[in-house]
Structure 1
Amino acid sequence: MKRGDMDIHPSTVNASLVQFDARVLDPQLNLERMRALAVAQAAAGAQLIVFPELSNTGYVEPLEPGAAFSEASGGAHDYALRLYQAAEPEGGPFTEMLCCVAREHGVHVVAGLALRHPVLSGAMYNASILVGPQGVLGVYHKIHRWHLEKLYFIAGDTISVQQTPFGRIGMQVCYDIRFPELTRALMLQGADIVTNVWASFRQQDKPLEDEQIFTHRAYTRAIENGVFFLSCNRAGRQGNCRFMGRSLIVAPDGKVLAESRTEEEEVIQAELDLSAVARYRSFVGLLTDRRPDVYARHGAAPPLGAS
């Protein structure tokens, strides 16, 4: 590939979001299922495949402060150690498998994983990894940790965007979506596509109050920044909670291109027209109309990358 070729993007990319039910502390089963699902989506024409948050370990327990540990977790005693043992070591089996699938099928994959710290034994990150045919392209460590995640994961402190043949991808994880500065920083670093991987749940005996909660959030971040926003949530049950699914893909102008309306396992697919990013931003004036100098004078420091 010649220098500059990566800047010539294909006009479209086919994306698949895999609303996957991760088995608690069973990385081997999760790995085998993810491999099969990724290969199936590649065979169906997907070029970008996204898996939810903590797909290798299942979500951390207890799911809520004061709740009981699920039977599958093995209980409170030594749970943190079992979570660490289930987490991915540097260059571990999930990374190897995803890279192999990407290389053999010419696809890119984003997956939410619990990752062991490369040096500090017992320390972990809640992470999102991007791989392509050439190998690992980027790793994002979740900056904003939800509730009890703080007991197990070190907070990340780096924001970056990764170049792919079809555009620049920025990653975030679940709760990160509630902090608009992060998506804005990714946009200012050149992101055309932002992926958010979730493990968002509700108590099983309480209905979801707002069926459009994920749509509201993804729509807002998409139109604020003129990016394709890919929101991939978990499915299934863990303890007394259900993961809420409802993954969706939103275009830069807020149009919902694909969505799940279920809490069950499902794959949603959409073709992303990358030319829509420049079309929307140039029409709306998101970049020319911003006033970071004014925001800074009123206590809102310019995000990363602002001039």
Structure 2
Amino acid sequence: MNSDAGAPGRNIKVSLVQFDARVLRPGLNLERMQRAATEQALAGSQFIVFPELCNTGYIEPLVPGAPFSAEAGSADDYAFRLYQAAEPDGGPFTQMLCDVASAHGVHIVAGLALRHPVLAGAMYNASMLVGPQGVLGVYHKIHRWHLEKLYFIAGDTISVQDTPCGRIGMQVCYDIRFPELTRALMLQGADIVTNVWASFRPDNAPPEDEQIFTHRAYTRAIENGVFFLSCNRAGRQGNSVFMGRSLIVAPNGKVLAESRSEDEEVIQAQLNLDDVIRYRSFVGLSTDRRPDVYARYGTGSA
């Protein structure tokens, strides 16, 4: 579902690509991402977002105690094969994303497994932002979900990148459950926060709450006055189904576009960046905060 929003002002068109990343098939994933990013750029999108771990697929096993999927193969040597599929410094996914961004004048965020630049065998679950000039920022997931701790080093840096599409902050999946992270991005001036997901359910059980992604994105948007772009993965992996349902939420909580499916899909919306100013000038999120009080109760400057 697509939507146009906002009065004339600083408008940008965004696309969220609800992508099915194939397990340990980086070559195929790269080709499909390149095609999708180019199609969205040619359709007029200025900012394009892909979900979590697009190059490798999600880690195996998906949950503790589960079998490895047929796509991933056996547990034997899986960590090595995951590392081989992960992106080296300046690797093919980085180059492809930069080439598309440069050729079409767009900005792209993509979730990728990245090899550590120095430590052999070590990886990050990351979100990369590229623009026409190249790589603008890389965020390493701070909060690792369950078995991600077996494969990925935790990040420890939060930053916002200034672009023609606004000031952009990134997070990955489970990070959304920690409000301090989105607040830290807002305090650094973020207009847009991207969250890239690979969130799934058992294939024999429906979602416990089909609106769960809406609840989370809505909350982070209105409590920080940011555009919140929630881009989840689609498709299947083993006995699990990725839940899709990507959405774009305005600073006031209005859902501008959403997917209601678990299939591959692209959702689009027009963002008016002046809506961030409109909302925050009415709701005193910066002026009414009391970090001096919060700090007494162990919550720091949130």
- Same fold? TM cut 0.5: yes
Q: Deviations over 1:37-56 (max 9, x none)?
A: 00000011100000000000
CA distance in 2, matches of 1:298, 1:121: 41
Q: Deviations over 1:91-126 (max 9, x none)?
A: 000000000000000000000000000000000000
Deviation at 1:69, TM superposition (A): 0.1
1:14 alignment counterpart = 13
Deviation at 1:166, TM superposition (A): 2.5
2:149 alignment counterpart = 150
2:202 alignment counterpart = 203
| Corresponding letter in the other structure for 2:174 | Y
| Alignment pair present for 1:37 and 2:36 | yes
2:77 alignment counterpart = 78
- TM-score if structure 2 supplies the norm length? 0.97
Answer with 280-289 or 93-102: which moved more.
Answer: 280-289
Q: Deviations over 1:226-259 (max 9, x none)?
A: 0000000000000000000000000000000000
Q: How does 1:230-249 map to 2 (within 5 A)?
A: 230-249=229-248
CA distance in 2, matches of 1:77, 1:299: 43
Deviation at 1:300, TM superposition (A): 1.4
| Corresponding letter in the other structure for 1:52 | P
CA distance in 2, matches of 1:74, 1:210: 31
Q: Deviations over 1:12-69 (max 9, x none)?
A: 1100000000000000000000000000000111000000000000000000000000
CA distance in 2, matches of 1:20, 1:98: 15
Q: Secondary structure of the equivalent of 2:217?
A: helix
Deviation at 1:294, TM superposition (A): 0.6
Q: Alignment length, in residue pairs?
A: 294
| Corresponding letter in the other structure for 1:115 | L
Contact 2:46/2:165, CA 8 A, preserved across alignment: no
2:181 alignment counterpart = 182
2:263 alignment counterpart = 264
CA distance in 1, matches of 2:74, 2:19: 24
CA distance in 1, matches of 2:165, 2:174: 27
Deviation at 1:298, TM superposition (A): 2.0
Q: How does 1:61-76 map to 2 (within 5 A)?
A: 61-76=60-75
Q: Secondary structure of the equivalent of 1:258?
A: strand
2:124 alignment counterpart = 125
CA distance in 2, matches of 1:115, 1:166: 25
CA distance in 1, matches of 2:31, 2:164: 28
2:4 alignment counterpart = none
Q: How does 1:286-301 map to 2 (within 5 A)?
A: 286-301=285-300
Deviation at 1:299, TM superposition (A): 1.9
Write out the 4+ residue segments of structure 1 that deviate beyond 3 Å after TM superposition.
Answer: none
Answer with 283-292 or 239-248: which moved more.
Answer: 283-292
CA distance in 2, matches of 1:15, 1:220: 20
CA distance in 2, matches of 1:182, 1:18: 24
Answer with 84-93 or 281-290: which moved more.
Answer: 281-290
Contact 2:47/2:165, CA 8 A, preserved across alignment: no
2:301 alignment counterpart = 302
Deviation at 1:141, TM superposition (A): 0.1
Name structure 1 gaps, 5 residues minimum: 1-9
1:159 alignment counterpart = 158
Contact 2:200/2:243, CA 8 A, preserved across alignment: yes
Q: How does 1:93-132 map to 2 (within 5 A)?
A: 93-132=92-131
Q: Secondary structure of the equivalent of 2:71?
A: helix
| Corresponding letter in the other structure for 1:215 | T
CA distance in 2, matches of 1:298, 1:69: 43
| Alignment pair present for 1:170 and 2:172 | no
- TM-score if structure 1 supplies the norm length? 0.95
Contact 2:25/2:55, CA 8 A, preserved across alignment: yes
CA distance in 2, matches of 1:167, 1:40: 22
| Alignment pair present for 1:89 and 2:92 | no
Q: Secondary structure of the equivalent of 2:228?
A: strand
CA distance in 2, matches of 1:267, 1:188: 30
- What do you get for the CA RMSD once the two structures are aligned? 0.6
Percent identical pairs in the alignment equals 81
CA distance in 1, matches of 2:297, 2:60: 40
CA distance in 2, matches of 1:213, 1:279: 27
Name structure 2 gaps, 5 residues minimum: 1-8
CA distance in 1, matches of 2:157, 2:287: 26
1:6 alignment counterpart = none
